[in-house]
Amino acid sequence: MKKVQLVNNKAKHDYTLQKFLKPNFVYIPLITPNNTNALCEVKVNEYVYKGQVIGSFSESFSLKIHSSISGTVKEIKKMRLYNNKFVECIVIENDFKENTKYNEKNIKKLSDYSKEEFIENIRDSGIIGMGGAGFPTYFKYKPENINTLIVNAVECEPFISADHTLILNNCEEILEVIDSIMEINNINKCYVAIKDIYSDLKYEFDKYVGTYPNIKLFFTKNYYPAGWERNLIKDIMNIEYNNLPIEKGIVVNNVSTIYAIYESLKYNKPSIERIITVSGSLVNDTNILVKIGTTIKEIVDFIGIKDAEKLKVIVGGPMMGKTVSTLDTVITKNVNSIILSDEDFYNKEINCLKCGKCSDVCPSKLCPVLIMDNISNKDELINLQPNKCIECGLCSYICPSKISLRDKIIEAKQVLRGEKK
C-alpha cells in the first residue's frame, strides 16, 4: 500500500476555541448511529434540565440520551441527520438558564472507580465514539483481557482540527483520565497517536506526559488514512486483526471520546457537548464548542457566512464526509466537522486508463478499477471483495481520470447484497 499525502493537509488552522452554547432549539435524535431506535422518556411541554435523561434504549443496549440544554420539550419531529436519514428528534426550546441536573451521588476520585462502576458510568453518560463511527464506548471496555489502549488523535482528514484544539486546551485532563482508565481496566500500555507534523501537540504533551511513564506518544506519518484503526494498530504495534481490535486486547478511542469520559467520571456530566471544526471557502475556519442537537443553521448564523450563489454543506471531512440537502441538519455526537463551500469540485470524468493508482493506494488492498469493470459480473465480484471497502475515498481522490470509484464500489456492495442488479 502506498501512503498518500492529501493536498491541503497542512492547512493553517486557528486553534482558538469559540463557544456557541446558546442555541434557541436543540433536536435530540432518538437513535444511535447504528440505527437502534430509542424510547422517548419525556412528554411534550415537560420541562427538562440540562443533562436530564430524556431517552433510553432496551435492556441489552442501555445507552442513555440526555438533554443538552434546559427548557421545554416542544414536540417530537423528524429531522435530517448527517447521513441524510430522516429521524425522530425531541425538540427542546432553550430557556437559557442552564439548569443542570447531573447524577451527583456517584462522583468519586477518578482512580477510585471499579471496572463495573466505570462501565456503568460511561454507559449512562451516553458516550459513543466521537471520531465518526459512533460505536458505544462502554462496549469496548466490557472484555476483561484488555492490554493496550490507543488514543487516536491523528485526524488524518484535511480541514479538521477539532481534536487538535481539544488537546491544546485540555491536555492535562486527557492524560489524567487516560491514566485512570488504564488503572481501572488493568491496561499496562497506552499510546497516544498524533501526526508527526504537529510540533505544537508534541510540545503540549511533553509538558505533562513525564508524570505518566506508561503513556507513550506515537507519531504517525502524515498520510491518509493514518487514523484508520487498522492502520494505526499496524503502524504502532505491527499487529493485524480480523474484525475488531479487541481480538488482540486492544481498545482504540478517539481523543474526544477520552475527554467525554473525563467529564463523565469527574463531574458525571453526560456527553452533551463537543468541538466541531467549521471550515470551507465561505467561512473563516474555526473550532467551536457546540451542544449536541444544534442545527447547522444556528451555527452558521452564529459565525456568519459569506454570500454565494451556491452552497455546499459537507458534514464530515472532505474525504469521507457527505453533503446534506438542508441547513436544518442536526449535529450528533459523532460529527466532527462541517465544511461550507461554494467551490465546485466537478471534474470531467474520462475513460479509465488503467494506471492502477487506485489499487496501489487502497488501504483495504482492493482493486477498485477491477471492481468497476466487473460490476455486472457477480461471480467475479465476490473474489474482488468489495465489502472490505471502508469508503475512505482515496481511490476517487487519486484517480487521474477523475472517476468516482468509491460510488462504484458502494454500488458493487449493493449488488453483492442483492439490493441492486
Partner 1 sequence: MKIINQNGPYIKSKNNTTKMMRNLLIALIPIILFSFYYNGIRLYNLKAISTIEMFNPLILVLIGSVTSFLIEVIYAFIFLKDKKPFEYSFYSYSIFPGLFLSLVVPVNTPIILLIMAVCFGVIFGKIVFGGFGKNIFNPALVGYLFLFVCYSSVLTSSLDAVSGATPLANLKGFDYVGTYNDLVLPYNSIFDLILGFKGGALGEISGLLCIISFIYLTITKVIKFKIPLFYCLTVFIMTTIIAFTNNIGIWYSLLHIFSGGLLFGAVFMATDPVTTPITSFGQIMAGILMGIITVICRFLIPGLVEGVMLSILSVNLLVMILDNIGVKVKFNIKVCIIPIIILTLLTLSISLYIGLSKANSNKNDTSSLEIIETLNNGNKTTYTLYSKGYAGKIKLKIIFDQNDISSIEILEHQENEFIPKIIAEGLIDNLVSNNGDISNVDSVSGATFTSKYLKETINELVKYHKGA
Site for partner 1, rule CB under 8 A: 6-8, 158, 307-314, 318-327, 339, 341, 345-348, 350-357, 359-360, 365-367, 369-370, 383-385, 393, 396-402, 404, 406-407
65 vs 162, beta carbon nearer partner 1: 162
Q: How far is the CB of 273 from partner 1 (least distance, A)?
A: 27
Whether 108 and 252 have beta carbons less than 8 Å apart is answered as no
289 vs 410, beta carbon nearer partner 1: 410
8 vs 45, beta carbon nearer partner 1: 8
The neighbouring-strand residues paired with 53 are: 66
107 vs 353, beta carbon nearer partner 1: 353
- Sheet of 86-94: strand order equals 25-29, 86-94, 71-80, 47-48
Whether 73 and 44 have beta carbons less than 8 Å apart is answered as yes
Q: How far is the CB of 216 from partner 1 (least distance, A)?
A: 30
Say how far apart CA 41 and CA 30 lie, in whole Å. Answer: 10
Q: How far is the CB of 267 from partner 1 (least distance, A)?
A: 37
Q: How far is the CB of 274 from partner 1 (least distance, A)?
A: 22
103 vs 222, beta carbon nearer partner 1: 222
Residue 7 is placed in which grid cell?
493536498
30 vs 300, beta carbon nearer partner 1: 300
Nearest to 381 by CA among 416, 411, 352, 406: 416
- Say what angle helices 162-185 and 115-124 make with each other, to 10 degrees: 150
Q: How far is the CB of 275 from partner 1 (least distance, A)?
A: 21
Nearest to 261 by CA among 333, 325, 310, 210: 333
Q: How far is the CB of 2 from partner 1 (least distance, A)?
A: 9
The neighbouring-strand residues paired with 152 are: 193, 254
Q: How far is the CB of 239 from partner 1 (least distance, A)?
A: 16
Look up cell 492502477; give the residue: 356
Residues 6+ apart with CB under 8 A from 102: 51, 267, 268, 269, 270
43 vs 365, beta carbon nearer partner 1: 365
The neighbouring-strand residues paired with 286 are: 278
7 vs 43, beta carbon nearer partner 1: 7
Q: Tell me which H or E stretch contains 165.
A: helix 162-185
Q: How far is the CB of 30 from partner 1 (least distance, A)?
A: 25
Say how far apart CA 220 and CA 191 lie, in whole Å. Answer: 11
Whether 258 and 114 have beta carbons less than 8 Å apart is answered as no
